[in-house]
Amino acid sequence: MQRILKDKGLWNGDILVFESLHSTNKWALENMASLAHGDVIRAIRQTAGHGRFDRKWLSPDDRCLTISIAIKREPFAGTMATILGQLSALAIRASLDKQQIAALVKWPNDVLVNGKKIAGILVEGDSLAGWMVLGIGLNINTTISDFSQLDPMQPVTSMAIERECAFDVGRVCVDLLAELERTFDATEKGGANHLFDNWKLHDALTGKQITVNTGTAPVKGTYAGMTEDGRIRVIDTFGEEHQFWSGDVSLNSI
C-alpha cells in the first residue's frame, strides 16, 4: 500500500492506494477505527467490488476509479447523513461536466450519460455512531469489451467511451475529490438548499413514469422529485403519494 499525503483540501485526509483489494468499502468498514475523516481508500483493482443490493461492480485494472472515503462527523449536520449519496452524485456530475461530458443524476445516487450508467455510489456505515463509508465507482477508461460480461439490460458507459480518448485515472481522482470536498463543505456550511436546486436542474427522472422496487410490492407512478432528506416521491394512479428511502427505479415503458 502507498500512502499519499494530501497537501491541501478541506478534509486533509490521506489517499491510501492499494494494488488490489476485495472491495474498498469492505476494507474501509473493517479499518474504520484507524481512519481519519476524509481518508480515501483507492484500489487499482477490486476482486469483489459490489454495489447496492449486493450487485457485482466491475473493477478492471485501473480502468475504473474505485474509491471509498471515510466520513466522520459527531454528529452529522442536518440531513448530511441521508443525502450523502445524492450530494456525491452531484459532485461527480460537476466533475464530468468539466471534462465536457454531460451527465444527469438518477435517484438514489446514480450518474448517467445518455441514459447509461457511468458511476455508482454505495454508502454504508452508522451515522449515529458518527462514521460512514462513501464508496464511488467511476468508469473512466473501461472499454466496451470490459462491459460485455454485464447484463445488457443495464446499459453502462465510461468517460473514454463518451469522449473517445483515454483519461489519466489519478488526475480524475484528484479532481473528483476536490469537487466532493467543495460540495460537502458548501452543504455543511450553507445547508442543502443549493443541492436540491442543483438536483432538479440535472434530474434524469423529471416528468417520467417510473416503478420503484423496494423488494416488496413495486410501486408504479409519476416521479415527483425528492424530499429534503433524500427520499424519492412517487404519485400513483390514485393520486396517492409514496416516499421511499431506498430502492431501485426503472422507467415504465409506454
Query: In whole angstroms, how far apart are CA 102 and each of 105, 127, 145, 214, 243?
Result: 10, 32, 23, 29, 28
Q: Determine the interface stretch with ligand BTN among 129-137, 140-148, 215-223, 231-239 (rule: CB under 6 A).
A: 129-137
User: How many whole angstroms separate alpha carbon 254 and alpha carbon 251?
Assistant: 9
120 vs 221, which CB is nearer to ligand BTN?
A: 120
Of 38, 135, 221, 247, the one binding ligand BTN by CB under 6 A: 135
In the bound complex, what is the minimum distance in angstroms from residue 67's beta carbon to ligand BTN? 6
Q: Determine the interface stretch with ligand BTN among 71-79, 116-124, 148-156, 216-224 (rule: CB under 6 A).
A: 116-124
Residues 6+ positions from 24 with CB-CB distance below 8 Å: 18, 41, 42, 43, 46, 49, 66, 67, 68, 135
- Give the count of alpha carbons within 13 A of 242, CB side only: 20
Q: Answer yes or no whether residue 247 interacts with ligand BTN by CB under 6 A.
A: no
In the bound complex, what is the minimum distance in angstroms from residue 28's beta carbon to ligand BTN? 8
Orientation of helix 80-97 relative to helix 169-190, angle to 10°: 130
In the bound complex, what is the minimum distance in angstroms from residue 68's beta carbon to ligand BTN? 5
Residue ranges in 6-65 that form contacts with ligand BTN under rule CB under 6 A: 23-25, 46, 49-52, 55, 57
46 vs 157, which CB is nearer to ligand BTN?
A: 46
E strand or H helix at 169, and its extent?
A: helix 169-190
Task: At 97, list the grid cell.
Answer: 461536466
User: How many whole angstroms separate alpha carbon 140 and alpha carbon 161?
Assistant: 8
Number of residues counted as binding ligand BTN (CB under 6 A): 19
Nearest to 220 by CA among 232, 230, 212: 212
Of 96, 122, 159, 173, the one binding ligand BTN by CB under 6 A: 122
For ligand BTN, the binding residues (CB under 6 A) are 23-25, 46, 49-52, 55, 57, 66-68, 120-122, 135-137
